[in-house]
Amino acid sequence: MLGRKKLAMLVAEFLGTGILTLVVLSVQRSQLGLAYFVAIAAGLTVVTLTYAFSGVSGAHFNPALTFALWTARRIKTVPAITFIAVQLLGAWAAYGLYRYFVNTDVQAVNQGFSGRIMVAEAIGTMVFAMAWAAAAYNRFETSRFATVAGLGFIVALIIASAASVGLANPALAVGARAWEVMGENGWGNYFLGPVLGAIIGVNLYGLLFANPDAPFSPLRRRASARTSRVTTTSSTDTDEDVDLEDDDLSDNDEVEVIDVDKTINKNAKLGRATAEPVTKVVKAKKATKKKTSAKKQR
The predicted pLDDT at position 261 comes to: 52
Rounded to whole angstroms, the Cα distance separating 95 from 178 reads 12
Structure confidence at residue 243 (pLDDT): 38
Task: Work out the widest C-alpha separation in the chain, in whole angstroms.
Answer: 90
Average pLDDT, integer, range 234-259: 40
How confident is the model at residue 113, as a pLDDT?
A: 82
Q: Please report the pLDDT score of residue 112 as a whole number.
A: 77
Q: What pairs with residue 255 in β-bridges?
A: 284
DSSP-derived letter for residue 210 is: S
Percent of the chain beyond pLDDT 90?
A: 57
Out of 3.40.50.150, 1.20.1080.10, 2.40.50.140, 3.40.50.300, select the CATH number for domain 4-209.
1.20.1080.10
Dist CA 154 CA 274 (whole Å): 59
pLDDT in tens, 168-219: 999 999 998 887 655 555 578 899 999 999 999 999 999 999 887 777 766 5
- Residue 73: the pLDDT is 93
Spell out the domain ranges in the chain: 4-209, 228-297
Report the pLDDT value the prediction gives residue 27, as an integer from 0 to 100: 94
Q: Please determine, for residue 84, whether its predicted confidence score (pLDDT) is greater than 70.
A: yes
Give the pLDDT of residue 178: 85
pLDDT band at 271 (very low <50, low <70, confident <90, very high): low
- If one counts every other C-beta atom within 10 angstroms of the C-beta of residue 160, the result is 30
Is-contact 51 210, C-beta < 8 A?
Answer: no
Instruction: Give the total residue count for the chain.
Output: 298
- The one-letter amino acid at 162: A
Query: Is the pLDDT score of 282 beyond 70?
Result: no
The pair phi, psi for residue 243, each rounded to 5°, is -100, 130
Name the average pLDDT for the chain.
79
Q: What is the pLDDT of residue 202?
A: 96
pLDDT of residue 186: 58
Give alpha helix (H) positions in the chain: 4-28, 35-53, 63-71, 77-102, 115-137, 142-160, 170-175, 187, 193-204, 260-269, 289-297
pLDDT in tens, 15-41: 999 999 999 999 998 888 789 999 999
Is the pLDDT confidence value at 79 over 80?
A: yes
| pLDDT surpassing 90 at residue 72 | yes
* Residue type present at position 150: G
pLDDT of residue 280: 44
Provide the 10 A C-beta neighbour count for residue 102.
11
Determine the pLDDT at residue 254: 42
Count CB neighbours of 261 within 10 A: 12
pLDDT in tens, 211-245: 877 777 665 444 433 343 434 333 344 443 433 33
The pTM of the full predicted model, rounded to 2 decimals, is 0.72
Give the mean model confidence (pLDDT) for residues 113-131: 94
What pLDDT does 288 receive?
45
DSSP string, 39-74: HHHHHHHHHHHHHHHTTTT-----HHHHHHHHHTTS
**What's the confidence (pLDDT) of residue 267?**
53
Which uninterrupted H or E stretch holds 231? strand 228-233
Looking at residue 255, its pLDDT comes to 41
